[in-house]
Amino acid sequence: EDQVTQSPEALRLQEGESSSLNCSYTVSGLRGLFWYRQDPGKGPEFLFTLYSAGEEKEKERLKATLTKKESFLHITAPKPEDSATYLCAVRGIEGAGSYQLTFGKGTKLSVIP
Amino acid sequence: DVKVTQSSRYLVKRTGEKVFLECVQDMDHENMFWYRQDPGLGLRLIYFSYDVKMKEKGDIPEGYSVSREKKERFSLILESASTNQTSMYLCACHDRGYEQYFGPGTRLTVT
């Protein structure tokens, strides 16, 4: 069974204070690791897909990296508008015909001005 | 950009009512999904569909059914709503890279 654990559950940062969110996973044959952003009361918004260890993706102040056991979402010089819950998900070779994503419970990020 | 729409943002129903939640996608994707999201439990897959009239159970299908008569439309049905089905319901479809694109969600309250 695929599993995703995100830490910390919640993170408060001062504006400009860089940090990282962690996503640890166990999966039978990783076919993709996905990062999402979710604002309160809204659906998750897709950010990145990573497929293999060593891969990195960037978007504005966000950078996602991947190892064989975990992924990090690095946030550089965050702004208040980066406040959201960040979700991590994996796709393995099992589960719902391999279409299924297994989601973590998320990290709620608050950036204080 | 992929666009996924859901029929209602907020819905209040009474226990025992039959409830329909509808989802429409505009990108001709074959695979569509229904999740519910609850505090502390995260996103849980209820059902998914990989083609018209084809469906598969997810992790928590009990109390739900689905319908997919047309490729762009995927409906979630609560046959007899109960208070433990109060939740945020999210529809998604996935692109070629298997990243899923979500609708805005329907917050359902069953009283």
Q: What percent of chain B has pLDDT over 90?
A: 78
What number is the average pLDDT over the span A75-100? 87
Quote the pLDDT of residue B99: 86
Query: pLDDT averaged over chain B?
Result: 93
| Structure confidence at residue B50 as a pLDDT band (50, 70, 90) | confident
Inter-chain touch B97–A32, beta carbons under 8 Å: yes
Q: Is B27 on the interface with A (CB under 8 A)?
A: no
Q: Does residue B93 register a pLDDT over 80?
A: yes
CA-based nearest distance B16→chain A, Å: 26
CB-count exposure of residue B102 (10 Å: 0-12, 13-18, 19+): buried
CB B6 within 8 A of CB B88: no
Range of lowest pLDDT (A44-48, A75-79, A93-97, B52-56): A93-97
What number is the average pLDDT over the span A22-26? 97
Q: Does residue A96 register a pLDDT over 70?
A: no
Q: Is B31 on the interface with A (CB under 8 A)?
A: yes
> What is the 3-state composition of chain A as percent helix, strand, coil, each rounded to the nearest 5?
5, 55, 40
What number is the average pLDDT over the span B25-54? 91
| Structure confidence at residue B54 as a pLDDT band (50, 70, 90) | confident
Task: Look at phi and psi of residue A30 and say left if phi exceeds 0, alpha if psi is from -120 to 50, else beta.
Answer: beta
Inter-chain touch A46–B42, beta carbons under 8 Å: no
Chain A residue with Cα closest to B30: A99
| Structure confidence at residue A94 as a pLDDT band (50, 70, 90) | low
Quote the pLDDT of residue B46: 96
- Rounded to an integer, what distance in angstroms lies between the CA atom of residue B39 and that of residue B66? 24
Q: What is the pLDDT of residues A8-18, one digit of tens each?
A: 999 999 999 99
Inter-chain touch A49–B97, beta carbons under 8 Å: yes
Q: What is the pLDDT of residues A73-83, one digit of tens each?
A: 999 999 999 99
CB A88 within 8 A of CB A23: yes
Inter-chain touch A46–B100, beta carbons under 8 Å: yes
Quote the pLDDT of residue A45: 95
